[in-house]
Amino acid sequence: MKRQQMHGLAMALMLTTALPAAAAHAQAATATSAKPWMNPKLNADQRADLIVAQMTQDEKLTLVFGYFGSNQEKPKFTPSPEARMGSAGYIPGIPRLGVPPQWETDAGVGVATQRESSDPYLERTSLPSGIATAATWNPELAYKGGAMIGSEARDSGFNVMLAGGVNLAREPRNGRNFEYGGEDPLLAGRMVGAQIRGIQSNNTISTIKHWALNGQETGRMTVSSNIGDAAARQSDFLAFEFAIENASPGSVMCAYNRINSTYACENDYLLNEVLKKDWAYTGYVMSDWGGTHSTAKAANAGLDQESAYTFDKQPYFGAPLKAALADGSVSQARLDDMARRITRSMFAHGLFDHPVSKKPIDFTAHAKVTQADAEEAIVLLKNDGGVLPLTRTARTIAVIGSHADVGVLSGGGSSQVFPIGGMAVKGLGPKGFPGPIVYHPNSPLKALQARNPGARITYSDGSDPAAAAKLAADSDVVIVFAHQWAAESQDYSLTLADNQDALIDAVGAANPRTVVVLQTGGPVLMPWLSKVGAVVEAWFSGTNGGEAIARVLTGEVNPSGRLPITFPASADQLPRRTIDCDPAKPDDFCDVDYDIEGAAVGYKWFDQKGHAPLFAFGHGLSYSTFGYSDLKTSVAGGALTVSFKVTNTGKVAGKDVPQVYVGPKANAGWEAPRRLAGFKKVDLAPGASTTVSLTVDPRLLATFDSKAKTWNIAGGAYEVSLGASSRDLGAKAEVTVAAAKLPVSYDAPK
Ligand code: BGC
């Protein structure tokens, strides 16, 4: 039964069993007068004040103390029957006051299942990974994807989704980059913010995470991310700031790592000062699973809820918090604030007014949503001699490697969504966390065959490069699928694993009409690049990834993804040649010096150093061509507006992403020559044009003054560049901007 039909049925039942209108009204009024916080006409602040005033101390303590939602071997833990088995977390409700439980599920690509659970996996729709959605540069798609997974969360019985990963990709080898929004604060903040808004459109709270500077997985529970205040505010913090303004996430999840030697979840600077004071954040801070390290220190620094306490060395917020309140090391006002923040978000995001209930999910409709995202995420990196799109004249096609005969790869760890219909390949990867390696059963090969019924498509698993090269030589076109599995808790190398470079090299040498399809969570090196005709970055493409890849390869979809992360030509170009900390000693304290690059993350570092990347931030080809003209700038009321015309100068319809970069003409103390200041995804028929107008957020013209706590714009001349990537800048304009100072509390106009 479809969701719409369910709705109709539920309505009919309600009508036949309904009380007469006057009686129902009287009953509701009595309920509201007994529980005045249930009056939806009051705002979330008023409702939270009213309910907290009625809570006993133990009820407040209930709200701030989280349980795991799944069975655990070590420590032995069986969750309450009321928890959703296999889930990430559960916080009991307070039935006396009508406070619903908080049922928490991971994460950013859909409803995940915890591996500790002995219960069957939930099979749910998976979006492409976060970095893939960022590669669409299309906030509307991110919103739609968020709305879809948020509805699956709600219809699976959850009201809190642990999504919204927005850590900047400072370290291209970070094993969790695939969950995040890339390396630029504007792009990441907009894309992840749009996804959070989508999730929360379902009367569901979404987190934003992992606050902050959670830049690598090596030593993730102990590493200290060391950085100065201004550099952090102009980079990693700014991504959070943009997303929070855009989406008002109900909760912020503090990170595992330390910041300047203090754990994120007991870091007064991070939680109280930046988040709650400077940005006036009104939601609550929950710890990451195992991220709480103290009672009074954490509570006083601004942590509002200890998550899944069994992951911590001991429970910190249960009985120990009660004791800390009794001995005065935590004030009553602080506990009241914690309870108030949690209930405020629950009111603001509909958790009281719209109780969750499990409902059937329309997986067919949702497959279309994830496929649209995956299609726009695919980045055509190289296409020499028109190898792509595949034409019907290719009679023999070789498909090689990466289980492309049966499915598409996904990223691993707590965000893992288990496929509808089961895993395409079983028994891969680590037995414990962050395994298994999961392939969604959506075969690129079958999707290609369906679109080329006349072609003979032969599959080789790629384990024997010589045999694969022989097949390649005998084929009109070759499609090699290469992959780099990425997963929470481990970083990876820029070099493709399992001898795949040698495989691609051999195949490319045998047939230059070779297309490489990469399934990675971030950049990899491509020593074979000159030997192949085309390269496509498909990321981890989600439930319908095979269809999406085939549609792009065959030209049914014109590729329009753009890189949200720089692909380096070598590790020598990075701020750190190797990753700090020792993966063999995860409990040892270690440091990573982010002051090396400061706010110059990704392309900004490459621009500052003059390094030539393998593929630049913002890069992506199309089967069409686009021209830019009429670049104009204007400054009104202190705001810089940039407008220009985009024309599809090619023969096929397609989407393009014109990008505006801004930089000061004279040294204004910026971290890099220029910053991304605006972008727009446009959809144009051949020959068609559109005019785009973008207003630049003034913080992108400013540097942060930590002492005065102001964003300072230096008056003077700025260069505005319009282009197709950070390294493909065409038209330039000069604009004079007046000096200005903005308060630390500055918010983008809504
Ligand atoms: C991850 C979080 C996740 C949590 C709950 C942690 O290991 O870092 O991103 O939400 O687990 O599963």
Number of domains in the chain: 3
CATH number of residue 151's parent domain = 3.20.20.300
CA of 120 to the centre of ligand 1 (A): 20
Residue at 590 is within a domain = no
Report the atom number in ligand 1 closest to the C-alpha of 89.
5
Q: Could you list the residue range(s) of the whole structural domain that residue 493 is in? A: 377-411+418-543
Residue at 310 is within a domain = yes
CA of 428 to the centre of ligand 1 (A): 22
Q: Which of 414, 417, 489 for a ligand 1 pocket mutation test, highest count of atoms within 8 Å of Cβ?
A: 414
Residues 308 and 388 in one domain: no
Residue at 259 is within a domain = yes
342 lines ligand 1 (CB under 6 A): no
At 120 the pLDDT is: 75
At 22 the pLDDT is: 57
**Is residue 237 a contact partner of residue 170, using CB atoms and an 8 Å limit?**
no
C-alpha 14/C-alpha 439 separation (Å) is 42
Domain boundary pick from 487, 512, 543: 543
Report how far Cα 719 is from the mean position of its chain's Cα atoms. Answer: 31
Q: What is the CA angle 720-606-666, rounded to 5?
A: 40
187 lines ligand 1 (CB under 6 A): no
C-alpha 9/C-alpha 676 separation (Å) is 50
Q: 3-class SS at 84?
A: coil
Residue at 593 is within a domain = no
C-alpha 442/C-alpha 150 separation (Å) is 23
C-alpha 207/C-alpha 244 separation (Å) is 10
**Is residue 329 a contact partner of residue 298, using CB atoms and an 8 Å limit?**
no
**Is residue 132 a contact partner of residue 180, using CB atoms and an 8 Å limit?**
no
Residues 331 and 403 in one domain: no
- All residues at 6 or more sequence positions from 409 whose CB lies less than 8 Å from its CB, including other chains: 402, 403, 437, 438, 439, 483, 485, 519, 540
CA of 167 to the centre of ligand 1 (A): 14
52 lines ligand 1 (CB under 6 A): no
C-alpha 559/C-alpha 656 separation (Å) is 9
Residues 426 and 332 in one domain: no
C-alpha 188/C-alpha 559 separation (Å) is 20
At 247 the pLDDT is: 98
Q: Which tens digit of pLDDT belongs to each residue from 411-461?
A: 999 999 999 999 999 999 998 899 999 999 999 999 999 999 899 999 999
Q: Which tens digit of pLDDT belongs to each residue from 6-65?
A: 333 333 333 333 445 555 555 555 667 799 999 999 999 999 999 999 999 999 999 999
Domain boundary pick from 521, 543, 565: 543
At 12 the pLDDT is: 32
CA of 427 to the centre of ligand 1 (A): 23
At 602 the pLDDT is: 98
- All residues at 6 or more sequence positions from 650 whose CB lies less than 8 Å from its CB, including other chains: 622, 623, 624, 625, 626, 686
C-alpha 311/C-alpha 317 separation (Å) is 13
Residues 269 and 384 in one domain: no
Map tokens 């750190």 to a residue.
576
At 530 the pLDDT is: 98
Residues in the chain with pLDDT values less than 70 = 1-31, 116-119, 750
Residues 320 and 392 in one domain: no
Residue at 677 is within a domain = yes
- Between the alpha carbon of residue 35 and those of residues 51, 69, 228, the distances in Å are 8, 29, 48
Residues 306 and 175 in one domain: yes
**Is residue 425 a contact partner of residue 365, using CB atoms and an 8 Å limit?**
no
CA of 461 to the centre of ligand 1 (A): 34
At 667 the pLDDT is: 83
Of 106, 288, 362, 697, the catalytic one is 288
CATH number of residue 661's parent domain = 2.60.40.10
CATH number of residue 483's parent domain = 3.40.50.1700
C-alpha 384/C-alpha 513 separation (Å) is 9
Residues 342 and 430 in one domain: no
288 lines ligand 1 (CB under 6 A): yes
C-alpha 421/C-alpha 124 separation (Å) is 9
Residues 312 and 429 in one domain: no
- Between the alpha carbon of residue 63 and those of residues 94, 259, 335, 336, 341, the distances in Å are 8, 27, 10, 11, 10
Concerning whether 580 is annotated as a catalytic residue, the answer is: no
C-alpha 727/C-alpha 191 separation (Å) is 22
Domain boundary pick from 543, 559, 587: 543
Residues 382 and 339 in one domain: no
The residue contributing the CA closest to ligand 1 atom 2 is 288
Report helix, strand and coil shares of the chain as percent, to nearest 5. 30, 20, 45
Residue at 667 is within a domain = yes
Residue at 120 is within a domain = yes
The residue contributing the CA closest to ligand 1 atom 11 is 289
183 lines ligand 1 (CB under 6 A): no
289 lines ligand 1 (CB under 6 A): yes
Residues 441 and 344 in one domain: no
Residue at 382 is within a domain = yes
Report the atom number in ligand 1 closest to the C-alpha of 414.
12
Residues 321 and 392 in one domain: no
Residues 446 and 323 in one domain: no
Map tokens 């994807």 to a residue.
145
CA of 347 to the centre of ligand 1 (A): 24
Rounded to two decimals, what is the model's pTM?
0.95
Q: Which of 105, 106, 117, 178 for a ligand 1 pocket mutation test, highest count of atoms within 8 Å of Cβ?
A: 106
